[in-house]
Every structure is written in structure tokens, then in C-alpha cells.
A and B are shown apart, each in its own frame.
Chain A
Amino acid sequence: MSLEPWTTKYRPRTSKDVAGNKPAIEKLRDWIDSWSKGRPTKAAVLLYGPAGVGKTSVTEALARERGWDLVEINASDKRSGDILAKVAGLASTQSTLFSKGRLILLDEVDGINLRADQGAVATILQIIKETQYPLILTANDPWDPKTRPLREACLQIELKRLGVRDGLPLLRNILNQEGVKANEDALRLILDRDRGDIRSILNDIQLLSSRRRSLTIEDIDLLSGRDRTESIFEVLRIIFNSRTTASARRALSISDVDQEMLFQWIFENAPYQIPKPKELEEAMSALAESDLYFGRIKKTQSWHLLSYALDLMTAGVAIAKQTSLSGWVPMRFPQKISSMSRTRSIRDIRKKAAASIGVRSHVSVRRAQQLYFPLLRFIYEHNLDEYERIAVSLDAKEELDDLLSNEMRPPN
């Protein structure tokens, strides 16, 4: 089973791969290319449009196809003026080694919280004024009053919802690669239902096709729209509200979700659904036991153990919960699934960098991480020139850059 989200797997590699919005992307590309002739009048672009149309993807693709560094700060970061000034300010004025290009992305600026991210807007304006590199801001809602000053300082480019004309070939292509059959009406329906939100569509059809290799209009009708998510919510609701082992186990039979995926959903939501610490302890302990069985199954391929894993993760959790919630608590998307592919690639990069350091400093890969990553991280934060000199001499600059610049924002 591959848990790599299609949304990550099929991220556009170049800006030409981005579906739809050709004129807007063209405009964005022209603006970036105009930097080669010096700093344009508008040093920043506000890229706006609804969720899932590819704002971040297109920016990443533009940086990648130019071989530039992408410095990204997104909504999950704390964005007080100080931090912004430090991260983005540094990136916008300090030059890169070998004068490599750089693109700065301030993602989801409409997510700025005026109180928690004090001074952020003023700092961003300052950065726009001073930046030596193209700066891209993204937002869902460009008319949000708190970002108005930003809007005025930026060239505004809109990305529109994806229609059937651009959406259909994109979905068709991905499904072909995944070996999933789908008829055209089904795809039209899902595009229409999810209103061109490619991210949510890909999540939908990935879940649907984890069990079926062909999608019909009935599948979509039955499960898509928001039905697909309702179905997993339904399973979770049953598990977290069952009083008997039988009823909790039955939840599995109505579920189409992959079992390990369901495990992640339960693990993510247990602390929110089971507020009593004593009960949560029992539930987590059941999940840990279940996890052990999954581990043993993988190790020994003893699939008959699966039923114990499943009983523990459904009935084990259900019986642990004795006290009902007083109000409605929404279900959360499992972090593990959304960050899995990212984590895996970080691990690979980390290992590669550590191997390179290990050979040069006579220690193992494991020890290289323990001994030298903290040192390099510290130097990276305090003395970029010195850091670059060391990273180059270790022949691990590319990997280290990637690791350290990513560590500036929390993963996920």
C-alpha cells in the first residue's frame, strides 16, 4: 500500500505542467523573468485564488525549473514581524553562493493573525521594499481588509478555479498512471462537485481507488462530494461511540478505507475524542498493541495476525472510551498521512548528507547526524557565509541547504 498522497506525487514539476490558468501563469513567468533586467517596479506578486488551484505548486515549479532556491514561509509558522524579518529579510537581501537565484514565498498571507503575528504586515511591506529577489505572496481571499496594504504593494495575479476543460485531461493522466479506470461522466461529476479544487479531488479519488480499480459515476455519486469524507467520519463516529466490541468491530465492514489509513485516523483523533486522560491512556495502549501486530505482520508476513490488530484498534479504543463528549468535536486529518511523503524524502536527504559528513569526519551516518547536524544548524542560523564554506567542503551543500531551509518551518 502506498500512502504517498497523489497531491504530492503529482505536483507539477515545471510551470508548464500546471493545469489551467495559462494566461495567469504566463504573466507570472514574465514578471519573474523581468528580474534578469533588474528589479521591476513591483517587486512582489500577490497570487490569489481559491484553495487547491495550485498557487504554491506553480511557485515551487517556477523556482525548480530555474534551479533557484525557494525560501518558503507558510501559515504553520509563527509569523511575528521579528521572525519574518529574520528569515525573509535575510533571504531577500543576502546573496546566495555562486549567485544562485532565489524565490521567496510567503504562503497564505491572509492567514496572518494580527495579534499573534504582530508587526507582520509592516515587516512584509518593508521586505517588499528591500528585496533583491522575486517575492510571491499567496492568499485565498485578496479582499481581506487586513492585507489591503499588501495588495496595493503587489502586482496582483489571479488563479481561477479549474474547469472541466483543463481538469479532465489532468485527472485522466493521473488515473492512467495509477492504472485506475474511470468513465468521463464520473470525472466530470467530481470536478463539478469539488468545484475545481484539485487537491481535494485528488484526495477523494485516491481514497476511492484504494479499493477499486475502476470508478463509475455511481461510486462518485455514492462516495464523493463530501460523502467520501463522511464515510470515514461515519466509521470514526461509530468507533468512538460504540459501547460494545461487536458494534465497534462492525464499523470496519462498512468502511472502504484502507486499514492502516483508518489506524492513522483513529490515532490522530483519539486524544480529541477521548478527553478523559485515564480512558485515553487505555485507548492509546490498545493502539500501541495494535501497532505491534501491524509490525509483526510486516516482519513475518503472518496475515492471520491482522484480525488482532484490527480488533485492538477498533474495539480496544471503543471500550476504553466510557465517557461521552459533551459537545461536537470535528475529526482531524491524520498528520502522518499528510506529512508522510515529505518525511520520507527528508529522511533520504538527511541520510545522504550524513553519509557525506561521516566519510569526511570518520564517524557513522548515525553519529554524523548527532554530532554535526546541530553544529551546522547553528552556524546556518548565525553565519551563512561560514555555513556555505563548510557545506561545500563537506560536499553536501545541496542536501544541507534543503534540510536546513526546511527546518525553518515546521514540517507538515
Chain B
Amino acid sequence: MEAALWTEKYRPKTLDQIVDQEEIVSRLKEFVTRGSMPHSLFAGPPGTGKTTAALCLAHDLFGERFQDVFMELNASDERGIDVVRTTVKEFARMASLSQVPFKILVLDEADNMTNDAQAALRRTMEKYTETCRFILCCNYSGRIIEPIQSRCALFRFTPLPESKIVEHLHNIAKQEGLKITESGLKSVVEVAEGDLRKGINTLQAAASMSKGITEEAVYQVVGRAKPTDVHEMLTHAMKGDFIKAREELRQLLVKYGLSGSEIVRQIHSEIFRLPVPEKKRISLIEAVGEIDYRLVQGGDEEIQLSALLAKLASDA
């Protein structure tokens, strides 16, 4: 079945179809020519094509049926050391049955792996290099332990320039029969902030309302689809309305399914936008940091965050 999510439908299938990250693509194409590749580390912000590049590379190396010798693991879903010892090892160690000399294992969001798991991974990578090559994708290469970094060819993916995003969106709009105004396009690009996936999702959401895409439609998507309620929650707390603020916190947790640490992160960035004295910002950062730590320690999200809201409310 054809993919219905545009991010999938329009995902390039081969390296040739990738029109950005030129330097990376040309290096990857060399691997294809040589029929070999080293372990690789793909680092860069979300939506810049890391997973796509890995998929395309595998396709170009192994052909249409690359899925047989290719495995994608998501490190943040399966990040424990057990997974490295079982799933990863199993896959890496079995020689491939088909013609290809090695298999490819992609570890997505590898920077979410614990250090222990990374250490275990390091040995596996070394031991089974003959049969399996690893591609580790991450947002921050700094979170990958040194020994792994030193064993990988590093590829730095950069946020897409506006012109490339425009090009992509134009192409999709054309194939989907959309009419997009100049300002509509510009606003999608703005929203995307160099993250193509975000841009495409915004476009698809706007297109669900109408094939004619305007700036207003895009803002409607952004306004509705993205919960801005953290700001509202803080505002209520700072006005002294703790009860209302707690109600909003519960909504965020249950309705939007945000995790406590996500909310903490959003509060952290909001602190700099709140109308409070500079000294206050510092004490808030301290308080937020403490809660972040407590959540790691097993504290209950709702209760710990409520304590923060009560603190804000008492300063009102």
C-alpha cells in the first residue's frame, strides 16, 4: 500500500534522489562504488535526512531487497544493554545468506543509549565488523562515547537551507495538486526551521483543510497542532491561580500525553520569556533543575510539577 504519510511517501529511495547534504551523499556514493563501507556515525538535528541516507545507502548497496540484510533498531525504544547483547549481537554475528559481503544495522537515536549499552556495543562492533556494519544516528555526537566515535566515519548533517526546503515542498505540492501561495510557502519554511519532516507534516496538515494553502492555514496548523499550554499553565500559576494551573498540567499530561521531563524542558525554555526579574529567572532555573532531577529519581510527574506551580503561585 502506498504510504499515506507524506514524510514516507516522499522519502527518497536512492542516494540519487537526495537533493541536499551534497557532500555527505557524494561520500556515501563512493561506498557504493567500492561496495564497502566503514561503521558510520550520522550526527545532526532532526529532519535533516540521517535515516533517509541510511536507507538509501542500503538500497544502493544491496538493491530492492535490501530489507533482508538490513535492520533498524530504535535505540530509545530498545536502549538497554540487554538489547545490545541479544538482538544486536544476533543480527550482527550471523553471516548474511545473500550475495552481499556484510549486513547493515542502523541504530537510530543512538545518543539515547546508556553508556553501559554503548560500551557493550563497542565490542560487538569490533568483533563482528566482517559480517555487519553499523550506522549510528544521533542528534549530538558528543553523547556517543569516544571509543565508538573513533571507530566510526563521522557524517555531520546540517539543517536544510531554506532554498532546499522550498524545493522539496514545491515538489510535493505539485504532485499533490496543491495551490500554495508565496506567503503560505514562506510560513511553512519558517515553521520548519531547517527540519524537513516538520515542514512536510505542516504542509500535510494544512492540505487536509483545503488544497489551497495560505499563510493563515499554516498558522492554524501551528496554533492548533502544537500545544502551547505550557505557557498558559505558567501564566496562570504566576497570577496566583494554582488550581487552574494544576488543571492545565493534568491536561498536558493526560490529554497531550507529554511526559514530565518534556514539560520540564518546555518550562525551562519558557523561563526566559516570562515577565520576571532576572534574579528570579535564576532561582526558577534552579527549581526546574531540581524537579528534572527528581523525575529521574522516580518522583511522580504531576506531584513534582505541582510543587513548582505552587512555588510560582506563591510569588504572585
Contacts and interface: CB of A to CB of B under 8 A. Distances in A.
Nearest to A384: B208
Contacts of A237: none
B72 A410 contact: no
B209 A382 contact: yes
A115 interface: no
B97 interface: no
A361 B307 contact: no
Contacts of A364: 74-77, 108-109, 112
Contact of A390 (B4, B300, B313): B4
A285 B254 contact: no
A366 B302 CA distance: 19
B298 A292 contact: yes
Contacts of B242: 271, 277, 280
Contacts of A378: 205, 208, 221, 224-225
Contacts of B298: 292, 295-296, 298-299
B149 interface: no
Interface-central residue, A281, A288, A291, A295, by most chain B CB under 10 Å: A288
B2 interface: yes
Contact of B208 (A355, A366, A373, A383): A383
Interface string A275-297: 00110110111011001101110
Interface of A: 267, 271-272, 277-278, 280-281, 283-285, 287-288, 291-292, 294-296, 298-299, 335-336, 339, 343, 346-347, 350, 355, 358, 360-367, 369-375, 377-379, 381-383, 386-387, 389-390, 392-394, 407, 410-411
Given A267-B303, A278-B314, 8 more contacts: A277-B314, A288-B299, A296-B297, A362-B55, A365-B77, A375-B5, A378-B221, A381-B224
B186 interface: no
B225 to A, nearest CB: 4
Name A's interface SS.
helix
Given A271-B246, A372-B201, A361 B7 contact: yes
A371 B4 contact: no
Contact of A295 (B4, B75, B297): B297
B36 interface: no
A377 B76 contact: no
Contacts of A271: 242-243, 246, 310
B208 A386 contact: yes
A362 B72 contact: yes
Contacts of A394: 4-5
A372 B6 CA distance: 11
A184 B239 CA distance: 55
Which 5 pairs of residues, A with B, have the shortest CB-CB distance? Answer: A295-B298, A288-B307, A284-B310, A281-B314, A277-B314
Nearest to A390: B4
Nearest to A264: B303
A150 B307 CA distance: 45
